[in-house]
Amino acid sequence: MMLLPVILSGGSGTRLWPLSRTGYPKQFMDLGGRTLFGDTLQRALKLPDTGAPLVVCNESHRFMAASALQLRGVQAHILLEPVPRNTAPAIALAALAALDLHGEAADPLLLVLPSDHAISPQETFVAAVAEAARCAEQGRLVTFGVPPTRPETGFGYIRRGAAVPGGYTVAAFVEKPEMEQARRMLEQGDCYWNSGMFLFRASVYLRELDTYAPDIAEACRKAWTKRAADRDFLRVDAEAFAACPSDSIDYAVMEHTGQACVVPLEAEWNDLGSWNALYDSVPHDAEGNACTGDVMVQDARNCYLHGSHRLVAALGVDGLAVVETADAVLVADKRRAQDVKLLLQSLKAQKRPEAENHTRVLRPWGSYEVLAQGERFQVKRIIVGTGQVLSLQLHHHRAEHWVVVRGTARVTVGEKVMLLHEDQSTYIPLGTVHRLENPGKIPLEIVEIQSGVYLGEDDIVRLEDTYGRVQK
């Protein structure tokens, strides 16, 4: 039996703003030396008989996923979604990849795991997967159900039916209920929270998708047929995939198929979809406060307090979520944690940059951080990893000054190539072709001073790029 973990990493985690943002989603957030993406990888790879994982991620997050895999020494296949189309198409791409990579005769089992869950203990997870495999080997599509511990309106539910080897048939899927219905289902004892995790053979999923969502199946096959390899990534055809309907696996397949099966996962589980959920998943002090970073508490209770860059002090408050980042502070009633996405929608409507990116922005070559900005100027701190190379580029609307703070820089300005060391600088006039490289053995750190009438990131014309970002 071959088991292939399928890690779904296409979400943006909007309800965990301001830590999670479109350009830096929650699965990659630093949670005290660990990430949810890394935890998911570790959980999957501890299972017996696993092959190289299939990671399905948003194209804009590809280098974060690749870096996380490299950090852990994990060999994986990274499938890029040109546009988000929900879970049914994402899993279809993984199923097509599995059959193409391993052959139709192997027909591996796919263990579909969202990249933002917390599950413990590992032994319980392993046992549930083993039971689910018994069902899946009989041609069933297995979903994992978590026994509810409270009435919950933020999760979907699964009502179990008759017992089968390894689990139960699915009697019904229940949408996120009102509180009274959630209480009744808790009392009945035959309902589970829908975890969003699945196990099935690749061919079985594609067969059921052909039956119940043929338009999705056809679009995904067309996109996969026209795929292309790009460094560590597999790119499906963007036009074909964009034409694919957007739908979840639950709506497209699971609610229609007669082969659905639920296996109980009697573990501590949390999908970490809100500040309330994150609060529940971490240790609390004697007053019920969960604190991360530089936090001071006086006469405060039942709060989630997170400081990233400066002291967060809480006095005489109860039931708040306070999250501080370099450019934004959220203060919210924890009971309203699900509504943070509404606040984020307003920020996006106003085209606020805080909705999309942190002040520190990750790039395939390293990162940059905005230190100061004003009319006609911007100052950035740029860190370039060892051996990394930025694109050969020019700007139509800005000039730049570079000052080396640490390391050695190889700089191209027009026809001139030079090495700059600490405390040395150069000037790039507006419209001049230039490039920055780190030939040294330590990270390169420079301060970049931009000046001009327009300083947006879209004023970059790439002529050559190691990372395939040149517009064709």
pTM: predicted TM-score of the whole model, two decimal places: 0.85
Query: 330 and 454, same structural domain?
Result: no
pLDDT at res. 431: 96
pLDDT band per the 50, 70, 90 thresholds, residue 472:
low
Report yes or no on 472 lying in a domain. no
Query: 105 and 201, same structural domain?
Result: yes
Report yes or no on 276 lying in a domain. no
Q: Convert the pLDDT of each residue in 11-54 to its tens digit.
A: 777 889 998 888 888 898 877 678 899 999 999 999 998 999 99
Task: Give the 3-state DSSP-derived string for the chain, with helices as H, strands as E and coil as C.
Answer: CCEEEEEEECCCCHHHCCCCECCECHHHCCCCCCCHHHHHHHHHHCCCCECCCEEEEEHHHHHHHHHHHHHCCCCCEEEEECCCCCHHHHHHHHHHHHHHHHCCCCCCEEEEEECCCEEECHHHHHHHHHHHHHHHCCCCEEEEEECCCCCCCCCCEEEEEEEECCEEEEEEEECCCCHHHHHHHHHHCCEEEEEEEEEEEHHHHHHHHHHHCHHHHHHHHHHHHCCEEECCEEECCHHHHHCCCCCCHHHHHHCCCCCEEEEECCCEEECCCCHHHHHHHCCCCCCCCEEECCEEEECCECCEEEECCCCEEEECCECEEEEECCCCEEEEEHHHHHHHHHHHHHHHHCCCHHHCCCCEEEECCEEEEEEEEECCEEEEEEEECCCCECCEEECCCEEEEEEEEECCEEEEECCEEEEECCCCEEEECCCCCEEEECCCCCCEEEEEEEEECCCCCCCCEEEECCCCCCCC
What is the mean pLDDT of the segment spanning 303-314? 94
pLDDT at res. 471: 67
Query: 289 and 149, same structural domain?
Result: no
Q: Convert the pLDDT of each residue in 114-150 to its tens digit.
A: 999 989 999 999 999 999 999 999 999 999 999 998 8
**Lowest mean pLDDT: which of 98-107, 225-234, 386-395?**
225-234
Report yes or no on 210 lying in a domain. yes
Report yes or no on 111 lying in a domain. yes
What residue numbers bound the domain in which 401 lies? 360-464
Report the CATH number that the domain containing residue 433 is assigned in CATH.
2.60.120.10
Report the CATH number that the domain containing residue 59 is assigned in CATH.
3.90.550.10
pLDDT at res. 247: 96
Last residue of a domain, one of 238, 270, 302: 270
pLDDT at res. 223: 97
pLDDT band per the 50, 70, 90 thresholds, residue 459:
very high
Query: 231 and 289, same structural domain?
Result: no
Q: Which has more confidence, 210 or 188? A: 210
Q: Which has more confidence, 379 or 182? A: 379
Query: 315 and 180, same structural domain?
Result: no
What is the mean pLDDT of the segment spanning 151-167? 89
Q: Convert the pLDDT of each residue in 195-228 to its tens digit.
A: 999 999 999 999 999 999 999 999 999 999 999 9
Give how many domains the chain has, as a whole number.
Answer: 3
Q: Convert the pLDDT of each residue in 241-283 to its tens digit.
A: 999 999 999 999 999 999 999 999 999 998 888 898 889 888 8
